Chain A
Amino acid sequence: MEKKGRQRIRHIMKWNWQYYVMLLPFLIYYLVFKYGPMYGVLIAFKDYNIPKGILGSPWAEPVWKHFEYFFESPYAARIIGNTLKISFYKIAFGMIPPIILAIMINECKNKWFRKAIQTASYLPHFLSWVIIYGIMTAFFSQTSGLINRWLTQWGLSSYPFLTDPTHFQAMIVGTDLWKGLGWSAIIYLAAIAGIDTTLYEAAIIDGCSKLKRIWYITLPLLKGTFILQLILRAGSIMNAGFDQIYVIASDQVLGVAEILDTWVFKEGIQRMNYSLASAVGLLKSVIGLVLVLGTNKLARKWDEGLW
């Protein structure tokens, strides 16, 4: 039985060897740049010493020392909490709007207008967070921002959008949504374009209104794409957006904005606690992996799994 299987594989490989050759560079890429450096996670269990190198550094005593230190520090709960909260909000508030936008763009009959809206909506995706932070300050800064200037001109008091911890997570989620909305809509637009038009024609003949067609045809057929997106985002739930938060969070709001990645960066690169930073980074990756596997398993129950 086993022999037969192996023979079959050899047979397949022989006949399709061109494909395997084409695959080779990518396999090498992953081995060299993704799997190779992974031996570096060793430093999470060592007292890393730069001149001694990764292998030469002594083991931490006990080996879970750095994990222990992290969990005993007052930061652990808060940083993990912030990470999960911000990710959860980003998923909760960021999953539906792209679908709505995609449907709206799709239903738009004027072709020129449609193209213009689509282009304008995905443009922010290409801006870096540094630029977006500049735009945010121009609008939201309490002393010089446009919105606060309006507020004060109307006799209202100004509001610290960028420095008030109570609403800062909303700022994070809001700007992230603004930046990614049009871009995320593209995938749904593609999915909508793939829907068999005869379904709509049949529905029109049966007397379905536009809303009913969206409700009974478009949305159910977008379910697969939606679940795929959900799995991908659930896998990265521990990544709440390093570049965004590193750029826009000031000390005043760090209590609600510090996430695992920013903390790891500051701890590891800026303060040189490589071992501690790696321990936390590793922890994060393991949880992320479990989440991807978990959501995929869940999704397979609805026949929508990634693999």
Chain B
Amino acid sequence: MLLEVNDIGITFGGLRAVMGFNMGVDKDEIVGLIGPNGAGKTTVFNLLTGVYTPTEGKIIFDQKDITGKKTNVINNLGIARTFQNIRLFKSMSVIDNVKVAYNQNMKYNELQGVFKFGLYKKEEAELHEKALNLLDVFGLKGEAEENAGNLPYGKQRKLEIARALGTGPKLLLLDEPAAGMNPSETAELMEIIRLVKDKFRVSILLIEHDMSLVMNICERLYVLDYGSLIASGPPEEIKNNQDVISAYLGE
């Protein structure tokens, strides 16, 4: 298992947002996390990425205990994410958004940076090439020098995925990647997600409300309701699970 979540929970004041939650993601797997609004899905993402520290339980990633580690450390270890409401660095250029994600692997010092000599030249040239190639995968090469905030919505979503990949993750968390997309954009997104998995050799865990996407590309699903796991298994099983149906329809 690449990611193993053991009995994690978090309490905000008196509210138990997530409790006794278990899940796992294998190498090269696409896993979905679904559930009604307010079920605690994004809270799980925040726990996995260190935005929140679980009040109970353990998170093991790549054989390391990452429970309570700092956000940037967890990212350096190989978990990257996108956001439900896009959080690009909007006043930076498209390419700088991607380059900043590569920062952790850059070794030159600031003196070399300011005066542009030595390692800086070599590393920045390589970085520029890498960043352009990455943007190309997402059809964003032509907009490299534009301000990220000026991109249309769909491209901003793609750039968020590109930026997350720039950090060199082993596990990519996508928080409602299809939100606000029309059916044809969603279909394109599915292709991108598959491509990302194969090309970048990452496992993917995604939160999504669009059932066509979830059923189509996820190999396994976890279903959250009121902060607890109510079902897990392959999409076909989940579709017919009575608990899941009643959670969604509110029976």
Does chain A bind chain B?
Answer: no
